[in-house]
Copies of this chain bind each other. A is one copy, B any other.
Amino acid sequence: MSYTAPIAEMGFLADLLGQPRLAATARFAEATAETRQAILGEAGRLAGELLAPLNAAGDRHPARLENGVVRCPPGYAEGYRAIAEGGWIGLVAGPEHGGMALPQSFAVMVNEMLAGACLSLSLCPLMSQGQIEALEAHASDELKARFLPPLIEGRWTGTMNLSEPQAGSDVGALTTRAEPNPDGSHAITGQKVWISWGDHDVAENIVHLVLARLPDAPAGTKGISLFAVPKFLPTPEGAPGRRNAVQTVSLEEKLGLHGSPTCVLAYEGATGWMVGGPNRGLAAMFTMMNNARLGVGVEGLAVAEAATQRAVAYALERRQGTTPDGSAAIAGHADVRRMLFTMRGLTAAARAICYDCALSIDLAKAAETEAERAAHAARAAALTPIAKAFGTDTGIEVAGLGIQVHGGVGYVEETGAAQLLRDVRVTAIYEGTNGIQAMDLVGRKLSLDGGAAVGALIGEAEATAAALAAAGEAALGAALADAAAAAREATAWMLAAGAINDRFAGATPYLKMMALLLGGHHLARAALAEPGRRPLAAFFLMQLLPRARAEAAAAVQGAGPLYALPAEALGA
């Protein structure tokens, strides 16, 4: 299946968002546009030439469990090795243990390429990146020295172990135990589920980051600690040694992502080392989860890009009927064009939101004053749930449209269009369901600063609306201004809502409204910068953005209407 990394598009967007500011900071002085384009070229080649061909194979030959060992699809080991050897896993990691210390803004681009080419395989290095980040922030120097070099080199991979059968979205309900050993390590016992790449045969060792409770831990989320539990215990020389007491019980049979082994892991007194302090595990995990959420949003947008590319290629090739523009291909039909414009418009909007979020993360890291840091961090915090939920919703919607553009053959597995939908569907669920993202936005994020960060984002869109009007684009400016006004009203309503559940009741439409507004803002800015981009922006502003007002209306109804019936009355 072909995939072409959209290098030019990425570069244009990075410049539009102001990514070059990074190279002017001390922290990211090396992150120049030249370095970026060199990296994109290299990663794009890897994605298009080596990884994309693996995607169908991974679907056809699912990862399987044989005598307690997971066997990955053909070609995955070579693909993984190429990712590791390219240095892509340690792109943002610190130089102390072999990382390149480049900005997150570069990593999201590279990760988009890997995910667009072969989502199931790309999850493996993505899990490692999250773990590297968590260890850098919270592990002792000894643990860092032991685990970071092989993780960054990619000789070892990382996993996240949060969920248990009774503890999914409610992490506080977990019961896995950690008993202190005399040597300072702990013995971990319990069962963990939904462990992506929890076992495999593409690297020599696996480090599990496991949430568990110490014997004297308080109940709920305040009594959770974090442990690094390797599959093979490291020898004093740092090589994989004796097998640890963690077993793969089973693999999930999933709708998609067949190439990515999703494991049930059983820990039976497995040796682990605490990361961060006792009962501080959730804080450590959440540091990493914020970036992981952005990473999942990027997965969604990556699949949207892949689906759009394929749909356009098919629509240009498939001939059916006579078309109004005289072209023989179905891309000439207005309704097919509507689908292609929608796919491209949503994908562009999601990409801009995700990259913008990454840039704020980087600017916060590079800030020289606390005020500056806090402002960028608050902006990133507000954008993160939007990037995650809108990126993944976009992946699902665009992959669905991709099937529709293909017509009957889109429903046949051989085409690959259906696989994209099957693969991307879970991204709206894992790393915090999209409903949880929306609740985070209207709950925690709006409350943190009284809506200042969100208000500033709306203000950016208002400025773009004014710029459109000033450029003679009255209709487009009015459309964007109207969506911004709707967002102002809905935000004021949220901030005034007394009960948090009134906010939660409107959380999902509120998040969609914000995403459409920001997407329109970015597309409009692109059009102002480059006239050839006006048609896509105009389509988005005039034909998709009006949904923002509909979402705003739904966002401000409060919880009452949702509890006016018992849930039973909605069922059979």
Contacts and interface: CB of A to CB of B under 8 A. Distances in A.
Interface in A519-546: 532, 534-536, 538-539, 542-544, 546
Contacts of A534: 564
A504 interface: yes
A439 B335 contact: yes
Nearest to A165: B409
A185 interface: no
Nearest to A411: B426
Contacts of A169: 320-321, 407
Nearest to A319: B166
Contact of A414 (B253, B426, B439, B507): B253
A562 B550 contact: no
Interface stretch (A82-90, A117-125, A336-344, A379-387): A336-344
Contacts of A543: 509, 553-554, 557, 561
A27 interface: no
A4 B565 contact: no
Nearest to A562: B337
A505 interface: yes
A11 interface: no
Nearest to A403: B425
A6 interface: yes
A120 to B, nearest CB: 13
Mostly helix, strand, loop or mixed at chain A's interface? helix
A456 B467 CA distance: 44
B320 A168 contact: yes
A561 B561 CA distance: 39
Copy number in this complex?
A: 2
A571 B508 contact: no
Contact of A312 (B313, B501, B567): B567
Contacts of A407: 168-169, 429, 433
A325 interface: yes
Contacts of A320: 168-170, 173
Contacts of A400: 396, 425
Interface string A156-197: 000000010010111001000000000000000000011000
A286 interface: no
Given A554-B546, A561-B542, A570 B334 contact: no
Nearest to A311: B571
A281 to B, nearest CB: 18
A472 interface: no
Interface in A363-415: 396, 400, 403-404, 407-408, 410-414
A295 B561 CA distance: 33
Given A338-B505, A404-B433, A508-B338, A568 B170 contact: no
Nearest to A509: B543
A468 to B, nearest CB: 16
A249 interface: no
In this complex, the member of A343, A412, A509, A565 whose beta carbon has the largest number of chain B beta carbons within 10 angstroms is A565
Given A404-B433, A438-B335, A505-B338, A254 B411 contact: yes
Interface in A110-150: none
A333 B559 CA distance: 10
B562 A553 contact: no
Given A254-B412, A567-B315, A404 B340 contact: no
A229 B414 CA distance: 30
Contacts of A2: 572
Given A542-B561, A570-B344, A404 B430 contact: no
Given A169-B321, A549-B550, A563-B325, A410 B429 contact: yes
Nearest to A320: B170
Given A408-B194, A412-B253, A426-B411, A501 B334 contact: yes
A255 interface: yes
Contact of A549 (B335, B421, B538, B546): B546
A434 B538 CA distance: 25
Given A335-B438, A344-B570, A538-B561, 5 more contacts: A166-B319, A170-B321, A325-B563, A333-B435, A334-B562
Q: Which 9 A-B pairs have the closest CB atoms?
A: A312-B571, A535-B564, A331-B567, A4-B572, A335-B435, A546-B550, A543-B554, A334-B505, A337-B562
27 contacts: A2-B572, A168-B320, A168-B408, A170-B320, A193-B408, A252-B412, A253-B413, A255-B411, A312-B568, A315-B567, A316-B571, A335-B436, A336-B435, A338-B562, A341-B562, A341-B565, A404-B429, A404-B433, A404-B434, A408-B429, A421-B425, A535-B564, A535-B565, A542-B553, A542-B554, A542-B557, A546-B554
Interface of A: 2-4, 6, 163, 166, 168-170, 173, 193-194, 252-256, 308-309, 312-313, 315-316, 319-321, 324-325, 329, 331-341, 343-344, 396, 400, 403-404, 407-408, 410-414, 418, 421-422, 425-426, 428-430, 433-436, 438-439, 501, 504-505, 507-509, 532, 534-536, 538-539, 542-544, 546-547, 549-550, 553-554, 557, 559, 561-565, 567-572
